[in-house]
Amino acid sequence: MSLVVTAPRRWKKPPLIKSAWLRWILTIGAVVYLTLVFQTTPVNWTRVWEGLPRGAAFVSAFFPPDFVSRWDEIAEGIAESLWMTVVSTVVGIALSIPVGIGAAKNIAPAPVYYFCRAVLAVSRSFQEIILAIFFVKLFGFGPFAGFVTLSFATIGFYGKLLAEDIEDMDAGQAEAVRASGASWLQWINYGVQPQVMPRMIGLGLYRFDINFRESAVIGIVGGGGIGATLNTAFDRYEFDSAAAIIIVIIAIVMLCEYGSGYLRRWVQ
């Protein structure tokens, strides 16, 4: 060591993305994408401007909302949504248990696994509304189509999470049960179920919430429930009735959320 360089050591925050060219590509890509979006997305500002008073009218419709003039329809729609939610959550979860078990790589044989995964993929890819359109075509207007839609959507959600949970479970515990000479069903009952049960109950209650929220919209395409009433209210520019419906929906969703939180604590 003959010479000590004493130039000040510079320091810069190390970049998040290490390779420089990737950093540039991402930045340029983002800029290009955003400009393209702005160029290809027509916004009719005069229309937006004209709409603002209507927006204001809508907001003011909340003070006070009109529960009275369409109360019968609202009550019926909400009741229908609730029945649909109850039935489809129960049926959906019941059906998703075999599908979920079949879609768990660690316990299902390969052909079953791929079949169940395909079912889950289809159910998860399509938004409830798209499913509802088809089921309405098949089963006719009304809550039955909505019930089938929500049940099918529940399978996708619940089955996938169940499958993941089973895949994540502690293999040792399950093995110990199998080692005791249990049959396949006993093995599922004693080795697998206790491990996944607490979380699945919570998820079931959560899915109930989601199903209610969704049941509020599938009526728009004819699937029964409060959605149809809401759609009509908007079509007729009856904002105060629409406001009432929205408030009822929010209230029920909050109720569901608190109720399910409470239930979950009680169950676990």
CB of 98 to other proteins, least distance (A): 19
Cα(132)–Cα(148) distance, integer angstroms: 8
Residue 10 and residue 29: Cα distance in Å, rounded?
A: 30
* Of the candidate residues 25, 35, 55, 114, the single one contacting other proteins (CB under 8 A): 55
- Alpha-carbon span 67 to 55, nearest angstrom: 20
In Å, what is the CA distance from 203 to each residue of 40, 83, 103, 147, 189?
Answer: 41, 19, 17, 19, 19
Please identify which residue in 75, 86, 97, 201 interacts with other proteins, judged by CB under 8 A. 86
At closest approach, how far in Å is the CB of 253 from other proteins? 4
Least Å distance between CB 119 and other proteins?
A: 13
Residue in 80, 104, 158, 223 binding other proteins, rule: CB under 8 A: 80
Q: Which stretch binds other proteins (CB under 8 A): 54-62, 65-73, 108-116, 179-187?
A: 54-62
Cα 205 to Cα 201: distance, rounded to the nearest angstrom: 6
Per-residue contact flags (x/-) with other proteins for residues 216 to 255, judged by CB under 8 A: xx--xx--x--x--xx--x--x----x---x--xx--xx-
Nearest-angstrom CA–CA distance, 115 and 224: 31
How many residues can be counted in the chain?
A: 268
- d(CA 177, CA 183) in angstroms, rounded, equals 9
Of the candidates 150, 108, 145, 147, the one whose C-alpha atom is nearest the C-alpha of residue 128 is 150
Name the amino acid, one letter, at 7: A
x-or-dash string of contact with other proteins, 147-186, rule CB under 8 A: x-------------x--x----------------------
> Would you count residue 14 as binding other proteins (CB under 8 A)?
yes
Number of residues that bind other proteins (CB under 8 A): 70
Quick one: 133 or 192, whose CB is closer to other proteins? 133
In the complex, minimum distance from the CB of residue 25 to other proteins, in angstroms, rounded to a whole number: 15
**Contact with other proteins (CB under 8 A) among 75, 97, 129, 188:** 129
Contact 218, 132 (CB under 8 A): yes
Among 5, 20, 138, 179, binds other proteins (CB under 8 A): 138
Q: Does 18 bind other proteins (CB under 8 A)?
A: no
CB 113 within 8 A of CB 100: no
Q: Does 66 bind other proteins (CB under 8 A)?
A: no
Q: By CB under 8 A, name the binding residues for other proteins.
A: 8-14, 37, 40-44, 47-48, 51-52, 54-55, 58, 79-80, 82-84, 86-87, 90, 121-122, 124-127, 129-130, 133-134, 137-140, 142-144, 147, 161, 164, 199, 202-203, 206, 213-214, 216-217, 220-221, 224, 227, 230-231, 234, 237, 242, 246, 249-250, 253-254
